[in-house]
Amino acid sequence: MPSAGDTAPDFTVPLANGDVDSFTLSERLADEAPIVLAFFPGAFTSVCTAEMCTFEDRLSAFEDVDATVYGVSVDSPFALNEFREQNGLSFGLLSDFEKEVVDAYDVRMDFADLGVHDVAKRSVFVIDADGEVTYAWVSDDPGVEPEYAEVEDAVADIA
């Protein structure tokens, strides 16, 4: 799992942004860093919806320091576009449908008691323009949301 100071694993996945485009992390860094990758287990679930809506509500704090927020889940880009629309999300959601990103960031988990397998742990990584992870937070408890002010501070520190 990448920690602060590590090089962020690069990846290319579908981007749900109202349409479906391609997203490659290394290609976005120069124009969009710092980048916040907010991994969440699944669209249309209560805590995940609350988390993504909270990022939306606090988006101006990130935009004020020219940071870009992306949600990341293993849902299809089509489901993520519907999730964006239903929740009024203006930032893009990355579809790790092939589960390559959750593996690269070592945040894949199962909720065996619920019969749910191979989803993202709730986690947040902040990546600077050089591709370095400057902040990493990972929870083994899917009911715990990140400390949003802490994420905002981590972004402001490098912006």
Q: Does the annotation mark 53 as catalytic?
A: no
Residue with tokens 């996945």: 13
The rounded distance, in Å, linking the Cα atoms of 126 and 133 is: 6
Q: Contact 123/105 with Cβ under 8 angstroms?
A: yes
Catalytic residue among 15, 35, 48, 69: 48
Cβ-in-10-Å burial (0-12, 13-18, 19+) of 21 comes to exposed
**Which residues participate in catalysis according to the annotation?**
48
